[in-house]
Amino acid sequence: MEAIQAAIRETSPRRSVGAPEHEPTRLALISDDRIAEAARPILINLGTRWIRAATRALRAHLPGSWQIDVLGAEVIDGATAKEELRGGWVAAMRAIDQATPLVSFGEMVIAAHGGMVDVAAAKRCGAATPVVDTSRPPSGVSLRLFQPAGRALQDSFAVAWREVFPSDMLPSADLAIVSALIQAPTVVRMALAFNGAVTGRVQLYARPDFLVARPAALAAIKASARRIAAALSNVEVEVIVELGTLRMQLRELRKLEPGATFTLSGFVDSRVPVYCGGALKAWAKPVVCRGVLAVQIESVIHDQGIKS
């Protein structure tokens, strides 16, 4: 790696006077995973703040004594998010900059599952002590009756959002937000769990680059292929010549004593493989050169291993 970087530095544009003489060359790396990991604590912070506002907002929709806890935040893919959204109440939200209210700079998707949906629906219908079957997903009627409680959830999240980011989070009826989310290769999910008289969960989904700014792309510098080849030619590699292999049972290995002799599968003048970096690169013949055991290359294999 140092040899490659040195070759790149020799062909890169000259720095202006006064610039650091030995500034290291930065390598462009895939940053999706790092962005997703950086977004997780941001979502947990939002969830912790959201609990207070959501508890106050849902008291009018969910009876009994219950509490909300943050389960954590995880990195998933869009296909997993698509499966998790099935059978629940789903809504989209859009972040609007206060300076430019007509411009959206990010979206989120919220989903509610479990007994809380049926409890809120039953309470809206006037049931004092609703009986909920948590073994089945909420019905379509329950999902429609849950709408006021879902809007209360959205409004309460907007309160937590403004505590962290100087912008407004508004409900959106744009289904393209959900479609874009489930097609994204990387998604960050934060989950809240209801415990007590009400059970269920609320999950928040977002693309990582919405919460964490993507770093600026590094300038690409085309290095000289000749210099790269010259730098790599000085890199030491391990070459292994396999004179023979032998397989034996463990009980035979335990009985080994000095002087034991085993017959190999090949002959004295048989060709032996030559490995470089674990790849077969040549075939050779064992010889004695000036009293030292050596091998003489008979054929070279050019299509094995990594091509340079």
Residue 27: per-residue pLDDT = 41
Cα 18 to Cα 114: distance, rounded to the nearest angstrom: 64
Contact 9, 224 (CB under 8 A): no
Residue 24: per-residue pLDDT = 45
Per-residue pLDDT of 215-267, as tens digits, reads: 666 666 677 778 888 888 888 888 999 888 888 888 888 888 898 888 887 78
- Provide block-wise average pLDDT over 10 residues at a time, the chain (308 residues): 63 52 44 81 94 94 92 92 93 81 75 92 82 78 94 94 88 90 92 92 92 70 77 84 86 88 82 87 89 90 60
What domains sit in the chain, N to C, each tagged with a CATH number? 32-211 (3.40.1550.10), 239-300 (2.30.330.10)
Residue 255: per-residue pLDDT = 87
pTM over 0.85: no
The pair of structure tokens assigned to 127 is 């049931």
Residue/partner pairs of 100-104 with CB below 8 Å, 24 or more apart: 101/168
Angle at 31 between CA 27 and CA 34, to 5 degrees: 120
Residue 233: per-residue pLDDT = 82
Q: How many residues comprise the chain?
A: 308
